[in-house]
Amino acid sequence: MGIIQAQNPFVTNIYTADPSARVFGDRLYVFSSHDVNTCNSNQGSNGFCMPNYHAFSTTDGTNWTDHGVMLDQNDVPWVARNSYGMWAPDIIEKNGTYYLYFPAPPADGSGFRRIGVATSKSPTGPFVPEKNYMSGVNGIDPGVFTDTNGQSYIYWGGGETLKGAKLSANMKSITGPVVNLRGLPSGYKEGSYMIKRNGVYYFTFPHAKSGSEELAYATGDNPLGPFTYKGRFMDRWTNGCWTNHHSMVEYKGKWILFYHHNKISNNDKLRSIEADFLTFGPNNTINKVISTRKGISGGFGPVTQEPFGGVARSIPGTIEAEDYDIGGQGVAYNDTDPVNNGPNVFRENEGVDIEARDGGNNVGWTANGEWLEYTVNANAGAYDLEARIATISTGKSIVAKLDGVTLGRFNLPNTGGWGAFQTVKIENVRIAGGTNKILRLEFEGGGTNINWLKFNSRTTDGGNCDVPYTSNGVTIERQTVNWTSGILDISCASSVDVSLRASGIGAMENADFLNIYYKINGGPQVTILEHVNTFPEEILTVDNLKGNTLEILVKSYTSFAAEVYTVDAITVKSQGSGLQQTLAPELILTNQPVSDQNQALVYPNPLSRDNFILDLQGFNNDINVNIFDIKGREVYHTTTTKSSIDLNKEDIFPSKGLFILKIRSANKSQQLKLLIN
């Protein structure tokens, strides 16, 4: 086993052809035939010398692991020894077993090629071949496909007609009639490969329409046709490589086309596999793919977690279990086996096991220690959680966590059958609001089917928490104080508004300070006010805080008596519930003109006419003027060097009422109240 780092071709240590790409678990695998140039005149066919099959895998499209030989020609009992005719293979997984289908020259001479099956419990082997080739399947280039209803099909052939049939339950024989696929263009065709996308069957094949092979496709509504020919999606080679054999697969949300060419050898019989991204157009079309030197190298980058479908799920609301995040094993989910054990109804290339029950898809085959994650946008509040589950035993549970914090545990009853779904509940779960939060469901004991999880709001305000909250706060005089409101539970409100009053009286020095902060959910402290020296009375507000908990903190120091800081009239209320508290009478009295020339003057006040004058004598240098409404929202700001400014009431104030005027310069600051009539 070795590591290969490559662009196109991405395997350069040996010659490879006929890539069959599959996703098993969180890895992308490519299985290829192997071109060598060691045959004598009695070996190989049509100039091709091909002894065995190799497996390669990646998680990033750049670094590929070479898993070595999966199956050699001389390991197969029915294959002519040293015949070097192991042409294009395909592989598929079902019920935990990997089935490798391959064409080879039979020792009994019954055909140019017969198709055989080998099995393994690992996608990289070792594979054990059946003793005989498949009955009724005579030709080259097997392609296999499992439909969303669980029925598997095999396609084969090289020539004017391509064929298909249903595979039996054991995946080693066909059942029912062999169908000549209709609706395909005339000319030589081979390399059948089927995918299903958005309910449409895409039958793809190399087509020798005019010289070398181009890659073409047809679509239909039945896996055995008839089909409608749509044209080519990759042009033929024009530089001496006659063949092109392909496969296509979706990995980490991107479609990839695998194909081969002879870039390294310039020899039509020594080919190398390559890969490029593939896209779809309108009306079920495939956009043309151009071979590039870069290929898919670097096209995936670090594995990231993203919401399924690109949109975060909402709380409150219902979250379907199968809509877990994109990101793969160990990132968006943990599943103890790498394949989807469900009947391929949804997200069949991932490890989570999904089936159709209870009127929709559900996640099943869960095991102890498995988990699923969902990106959610949550409104803060109290919720009842419901889960739709089915089990056949007791003692099982599902733990729900949000950003690592346990919301609760569903203790599951025996519902009486895998399809006998019941709804279980966890009551009064409090959730902090926020976007792009990670919801995790952890399965304890396994053996549980889950259809969906639902968050039902209990209340939008006034629930069992600390909203509304009021406090007389703290007074600081000749002491150091670290005051806290304590941890307030605000989870029953979608958001809260905070209001408080702060003032400083006395001849404070630079050592005296008053700092006010808040914390949401125990996080970093956020500044409401940081101040030194004396300052006038201020009404401070912070709006629309969302979370589970809130803490208000006051940190302050004054050095002498009569130097007093006060923080009081602290109120926390649900947003929009009328935040402004009933203020002390002296706060709602309007300021009268002040004769001291060192103080700012507003006249008239109350403001009863459109224009008013702000006298700023006594303030030095750049003077900052701010006007706030009672909830702390700024309605006006300017910076001036003038000793007075003329203002227009209608240009500034959105309504009547009380407003706060703050004036600051290098030498002083002042606060005034303005009553707008």
Query: Quick check: 37 pLDDT over 90?
Result: yes
Quickly state the pLDDT bin for 457 (edges 50, 70, 90): confident
Q: Sign of the C-alpha dihedral, residues 48, 51, 55, 60?
A: negative
Query: Quick check: 581 pLDDT over 50?
Result: no
Give the Cβ contact number of residue 605 at 10 Å.
18
Query: Quick check: 522 pLDDT over 60?
Result: yes
153 vs 72, 175, 190, 196, CA distance in Å? 25, 10, 16, 13
The stretch 476-480 carries a mean pLDDT of 85
Q: Specify whether the backbone of 500 is left (phi greater than 0), alpha (psi in -120 to 50) or beta.
A: beta
- Quote the pLDDT of residue 647: 78
One-letter amino acid at 578 equals G
The stretch 335-361 carries a mean pLDDT of 78
Query: Quick check: 563 pLDDT over 50?
Result: yes
The stretch 1-17 carries a mean pLDDT of 76
Q: What is the pLDDT of residues 130-162, one digit of tens each?
A: 999 999 999 999 999 999 999 999 999 999 999
Lowest-pLDDT range, 343-352, 452-461, 473-482? 343-352
CB 455 within 8 A of CB 448: no
As a whole number of angstroms, the distance between CA 473 and CA 558 comes to 16
As a whole number of angstroms, the distance between CA 564 and CA 444 comes to 58
Lowest-pLDDT range, 54-68, 211-225, 575-589, 625-639? 575-589
Quickly state the pLDDT bin for 118 (edges 50, 70, 90): very high
More confident residue, 608 or 418: 418
- Quote the pLDDT of residue 443: 95
As a whole number of angstroms, the distance between CA 507 and CA 331 comes to 59
- In the chain, the domains with their CATH numbers are 2-6+9-286 (2.115.10.20), 308-459 (2.60.120.260), 469-587 (2.60.120.260), 589-676 (2.60.40.3080)
- Quote the pLDDT of residue 423: 95
- Quote the pLDDT of residue 592: 33
The stretch 469-485 carries a mean pLDDT of 85
Query: Quick check: 460 pLDDT over 90?
Result: no
The stretch 419-431 carries a mean pLDDT of 88
Q: Element (H or E) spanning 143, and its range? A: strand 143-146
Quickly state the pLDDT bin for 381 (edges 50, 70, 90): confident
- Quote the pLDDT of residue 345: 64
Quickly state the pLDDT bin for 10 (edges 50, 70, 90): very high
As a whole number of angstroms, the distance between CA 516 and CA 503 comes to 12
- Quote the pLDDT of residue 6: 46
Highest mean pLDDT range out of 328-337, 434-443, 465-474?
A: 434-443
CB 203 within 8 A of CB 228: no
Quickly state the pLDDT bin for 464 (edges 50, 70, 90): low
pLDDT > 90: percent of the chain:
52
CB 431 within 8 A of CB 408: no
Tell how strand 623-629 and strand 634-640 pair up. Answer: antiparallel
Query: Quick check: 5 pLDDT over 60?
Result: no
As a whole number of angstroms, the distance between CA 635 and CA 639 comes to 14
One-letter amino acid at 97 equals T
More confident residue, 589 or 194: 194
Mean pLDDT taken over the chain: 86
Collect all residues with Cβ–Cβ distance below 8 Å to 619 and sequence separation of at least 6: 600, 663, 665, 667, 668
Query: Quick check: 434 pLDDT over 50?
Result: yes
- Quote the pLDDT of residue 461: 42
pLDDT > 70: percent of the chain:
89
List residues with catalytic annotation.
18, 190
First to last CA, the chain: 84
118 vs 19, 53, 341, CA distance in Å? 17, 12, 20
Quickly state the pLDDT bin for 597 (edges 50, 70, 90): very low
Cβ burial of 285 (10 Å; 0-12, 13-18, 19+) is middle
- Quote the pLDDT of residue 590: 30
Quickly state the pLDDT bin for 636 (edges 50, 70, 90): confident
One-letter amino acid at 204 equals T
The stretch 237-265 carries a mean pLDDT of 93
Please give the biggest Cα pair distance in the chain.
119
